Amino acid sequence: MRYWDIFESELGPIKVVCDDEGVLGVEFNREGLKEGQQKTTELTKKTALQLKEYLSGERTEFDLPLKPQGTEFQKKVWEALLTIPYGQTRSYKEIAVQIGNEKACRAVGMANNRNPISIIIPCHRVVGADKSLVGYGGGLNIKIKLLHLECPGVTWKNY
């Protein structure tokens, strides 16, 4: 069974989606993922708490069971994203090289775009090779806020 709950944050409403085994989704939009029931569970509460701690600057790593749903390629990309340390960024090409397919930059971008567990799987830490800020599923304004939280004082090329 899927459960979801919404909590308010400085980024707007965030929906957390879980099942009995792990976190399935973190999204910035109240729409979508209509299946399941709205219910606060221990895991939705723990996820919301860790996200609030992260957004307030008190947490740099998450300790949650993640269960993203996607293709094997997407999961490989998302696993690589989890290795990007707090306060650092990587380019799409660096992620492509890390997963063993340096020509897969566009496919890495598409997998990034399909990341169902925003913030926790840190797709916001992926930037253009020239440090330009490129798309983000939650909107570029949210990506900028997340990067400023983690990398204060860094200037981004197109910001």
Report the Cα 25 to chain-centroid distance in Å: 9
> 4 near 33, Cβ under 8 Å?
yes
pLDDT tens, N- to C-terminus, the chain (159 residues)? 889 999 999 999 999 999 999 999 999 865 654 566 778 899 999 999 999 999 999 999 999 999 999 999 999 999 999 999 999 999 999 999 999 999 999 999 999 999 999 999 999 999 988 888 887 878 888 898 999 999 887 776 655
Count of residues making up the chain: 159
DSSP H or E run through 111 = helix 105-113
Report the SS3 class of residue 15. Answer: strand
d(CA 35, CA 111): 23
What positions carry a catalytic annotation?
A: 123
* Residue of 151, 154, 114, 141 lying closest to 32 (CA atoms): 114
